[in-house]
Amino acid sequence: MFLKEQESAFAELFLNDDWVLKLCYLSDIFGKLNDLNISLQGKKSNIFTFKDRIEAFVKKLTIWKSRTDDGNLEMFAATDDYLTEKNLSNLMIVKVVVDHLNSFQTHFRKYFPMDIDSGKESWICEPFVRQFSGVTHLSLKAPGRVCRFI
CA separation for the pair 119, 46 (Å, rounded): 17
For the chain, the helix, strand and coil percentages under 3-state DSSP, each to the nearest 5: 65, 0, 35
Q: Write down the pLDDT at residue 143.
A: 62
Q: Write down the pLDDT at residue 117.
A: 56
Tell me the pLDDT tens digit for each residue of 80-132: 999 999 998 888 899 999 999 999 999 988 888 776 555 566 666 666 665 65
**Average pLDDT, integer, range 35-55:** 88
Q: Write down the pLDDT at residue 99.
A: 95
CA separation for the pair 104, 3 (Å, rounded): 31
Q: Write down the pLDDT at residue 6.
A: 82
Asked whether residue 141 carries a pLDDT value surpassing 70, the answer given is no
Q: Is 61 helix (H, G, I), strand (E, B) or coil?
A: helix
